[in-house]
A and B are shown apart, each in its own frame.
Chain A
Amino acid sequence: MQYALLIYGNEKAWESRTEQEMQENHERHGRFMAMLRERGALIPGGQELARSSTATTVRNGDPVSVTDGPYAETAEQIGGIYLIDAPDLDAALEIARQLPEPIVEVRPVVMHPEMGN
């Protein structure tokens, strides 16, 4: 099965990191990805996201509205996504536990065979 690991965190805490802390976090993610590759669990497509203050939300109603900021203004925001392949939820949770981030939401990915995933 495929799962999306949605990384949540407090953006203020992320922003207040020192250069060195960011470097260390970067290295931890590097090791995490190496572990995923080694297991054949890494699916390309995951990315780090820029801060929610740079987001723009489009509501396709009538009229269409375009507003500054994320859809939900909460203290914790999505900071990045990994896509992984795991045999079951327990395996996915075990991988999520190794992510060097405070909150990880594990969401199954819906498989659409006709779309080739």
Chain B
Amino acid sequence: MAEDSLQDAFVAAARVWPAQGVPEKPSAWLWTTAYRRALDRIRQEETDARRLPLLIADSPAPPAAEEGGDVPDERLRLLFACCHPALRPDARAALMLRFVAGLTTAEIARLFLVSEPTMAARLTRAKAKMAVAGIPLRAPSAADLPARLDVVLRVIYLIFTEGYRATAGPELVRPRLADEAIRLGYLVGELLPGEPRTLALLALMLLQHARRDARVAADGALVLLPDQDRTRWRHDEIARGVSLLDLLEAAPMPGEYHLQALIAAEHAKPPPTDWPRIAHLYAELERRTPSPMVRLNRAVAIAEAGSPEAALSLMDGLVIRDTHLLPAVRAELLTRLGRHAEATAAFDEALTLVRTDPERQHLLRRRAER
């Protein structure tokens, strides 16, 4: 699709340039145009053409501020008002689903596993804050836009991850929530075209979500990547995510979502997995956004690339509370290095922290296998 879109851009260039003259930066112009064409195409491909409600009856009343002249679109103004940094993150997500995605309060309550009155109260509190504190129904100034767009994208990714791997409730995956997040991502791409971060987030969500059917076993347990039935992946969605990434190749400096999407794209390729490349991408991600989880993932990639010792030393001093992941990975690495006594101790530590039965069974099996 990236090629098609670039093709479209050249066609557009052939039409526009003779009349308007060649723009100052032809490659940047081509890139932006290709990006827009790609989004247009994706929209056409979307079978779910549920209309996004533009104006809702109970939307918060705009404060008596003057109109923000440069951004006429009501949805854009709602988007930024709902994602105002002065609101709590959970309220932002609820407001987005209610007023931008147009879900009912009951639907949102079900998605977040709270009662309808609880969700109604959360929305009412947030709307009261918007009205009383004077949160403007207006797109941010050009100077504030990059930071405010970051908040919008973070809210969307929060909605997505809650659907991708639920932190609570009986289901591990709630695809509907992830669907809504992807739809919101498209909307942002449509309203604010030419933003590589939006495109990167969309690619990331598409690539991860494409594995949804293979991620849960018949008994409801989570299936890890290497054990997934790849025929159950949505390969059309993977192709779409990869196309978006191809389009981003011309973009400057990959950001956080871009790097994560590149990693997801590597995992979506048929085996053998290119672990050295994944390790490199994680190193780059750690440089951008250092966190213990990123470090752990990087260590795993380095181990898989053939250097368990380097991986182990990378994990020295790492602390990740309340999860069995760290000792479990350490146990596996120590096993590979033949340090069995230490490995057993690490397995035991992991077993005291593990919370789900399938994962406990997995650890017990691995400890016995050695």
Contacts and interface: CB of A to CB of B under 8 A. Distances in A.
Interface stretch (B134-142, B178-186, B268-276, B312-320): B134-142
A62 B63 CA distance: 43
A83 interface: no
A108 B63 CA distance: 13
B86 A89 contact: yes
Interface in B126-148: 132-136, 138, 140, 144
Contacts of B63: 1, 87-88
B140 A89 contact: no
A88 B132 contact: no
Nearest to A1: B134
Contact of B136 (A3, A90, A108): A90
Contact of B65 (A3, A88, A106): A88
A88 B132 CA distance: 10
Interface in B48-75: 63-66
A112 B135 CA distance: 20
Interface string B65-100: 110000000000000000010100000000000000
Contacts of B136: 87-90
B132 A108 contact: yes
A42 interface: no
Interface residues of A, number: 11
Contact of A87 (B66, B86, B144): B66
A92 interface: yes
Interface string B91-133: 0000000000000000000000000000000000000000011
A92 B63 CA distance: 13
A84 to B, nearest CB: 12
A13 to B, nearest CB: 26
A88 B139 CA distance: 13
A108 B66 contact: no
B367 to A, nearest CB: 48
Contacts of B86: 89, 93
Interface string A42-66: 0000000000000000000000000
Contacts of B133: 89, 106, 108
Contacts of A87: 63-66, 134, 136
Nearest to B66: A87
B324 to A, nearest CB: 37
Interface in A57-96: 86-90, 92-93
Interface of B: 63-66, 84, 86, 132-136, 138, 140, 144
28 contacts: A1-B134, A3-B134, A86-B134, A87-B63, A87-B64, A87-B65, A87-B66, A87-B134, A88-B63, A88-B65, A88-B135, A88-B136, A88-B138, A89-B84, A89-B86, A89-B133, A89-B134, A89-B135, A89-B136, A90-B135, A90-B136, A90-B138, A90-B144, A92-B134, A93-B86, A106-B133, A108-B132, A108-B134
Interface of A: 1, 3, 86-90, 92-93, 106, 108
Given A89-B135, A92-B134, 11 more contacts: A1-B63, A3-B134, A87-B134, A87-B136, A89-B84, A90-B135, A90-B136, A93-B86, A108-B132, A108-B133, A108-B134
Closest 9 CB pairs of A and B: A88-B136, A89-B134, A88-B134, A88-B65, A1-B134, A87-B65, A89-B135, A89-B133, A108-B133
